[in-house]
Amino acid sequence: MQSATSSRSRVSRLPLSRRETSLVAALALLTVVVLLAPALELPMGGAAHFADTRAWGPLPNALDVLSNLPFALMGVLGLRALGQLESSHEASWPRAAESLPLNTLDCAWLFFAGLLVTTAGSVFFHLHPDVLRLAADRAGMTIAFAGMIGLAVSDQVSPRAAWPSAWFVLAGGLLSVAIYHETGNVMPWAVVQFGGMGLLVALALSSARRNGPPVLGVRLGTVVALYALAKLFELADAQLFELTGGWLGGHAVKHVLAASAALPVLLAVRRLARHSAAPQSARLH
């Protein structure tokens, strides 16, 4: 592993590429916007009143609560796939451990772990929506979102920029949640959420980087499309509830669609696992 460490050290000392410079500029711009933007105070931080408030027995807001379970499912499947990838890679082909994209996989671990935290925070919030619980809900979302940004940066900018970018978004997101909880100012959170999504869209639309193929090859366009569709259903919560005769609200559908946006990441990890196992299979033959 010493050669892998020295290799990463040499890479970290290389000058910034054009894409890395553009990324730093974009993150700096978002920071300036947060610092200069006027305060924005909204009731419940802009969270809407949910249309479907039906209880199932002792469980209040049942569908809005239970529809968070797909987040947990994707989180468990993702962490399991990552664990299998790393353990099998090291056990069956020890010298190849250094070929694992560790910076990128750290972001994947953060993303899937964030989905589990998102499940807990969102269930906690939807059981009894209030300001404190909304902060917990958004804190969980921030962890998964930071991991997703890191993965996108790894594929479209550079692997070495992935982990710092993820930590930047994580720190900014958690700070914005704290600011909202203490002051009621939702503007920093809005900049993190929509500015981060704008960055994700820009990365999805950018051409393939020249200094090597994508590390995971996550289909960012699919991630963005599913998340955008989820937001549309969130906005149409009451309309869908009325259209379905009170059977299903848009907010529950939003949860399922947002969770399904993790599927391209899961599939990418599994592709990497199959690719990593190929040299071992070739040796057996």
Q: pLDDT (tens digit, 9 = 90+) per residue, 204-263?
A: 999 877 666 678 889 999 999 999 999 999 999 999 999 999 999 999 999 999 999 999
CA-CA-CA-CA dihedral for 276, 281, 284, 285, to nearest 10: -140
Q: Which segment of 28-37, 81-90, 113-122, 259-268 scores lowest on mean pLDDT?
A: 81-90
User: 3-state DSSP call for residue 56?
Assistant: strand
Q: Could you tell me the residue ranges of all domains in the chain? A: 63-277
Give me the pLDDT at residue 148, please. Answer: 98
pLDDT of residue 85: 86
d(CA 285, CA 237): 56
Q: Is the pLDDT of residue 97 over 50?
A: no
Q: Which two tokens stand for residue 4?
A: 């892998």
Which DSSP letter does residue 128 get? S
Say if residues 61 and 126 touch (Cβ distance below 8 Å).
yes
- Which CATH number is associated with domain 63-277? 1.20.1070
The counts of H helices and E strands in the chain are: 13, 0
Are 111 and 147 in contact by the 8 Å Cβ rule? The answer is yes
Phi, psi angles (nearest 5°) of residue 244: -90, 15
Nearest to 63 by CA among 238, 251, 223, 200: 251
**Predicted confidence band of residue 96 (pLDDT cuts 50, 70, 90):** very low
Q: How far apart are CA 201 and CA 223, in angstroms?
A: 9
At 240, give phi and psi (nearest 5°). Answer: -70, -35
If pLDDT is split at 50, 70 and 90, which confidence band does 12 have? low
**Residue linked to tokens 């953060």:** 110
Give the integer Cα–Cα distance in Å for 44 and 185. Answer: 10
Residues 188-217, mean pLDDT to the nearest whole number: 88
Its pTM surpasses 0.85: yes
User: In this predicted model, what pLDDT tens digit does every residue of 42-51 receive, in sequence order?
Assistant: 777 666 689 9
Q: What is the mean pLDDT of the chain?
A: 88
Residue 207 confidence (pLDDT):
85
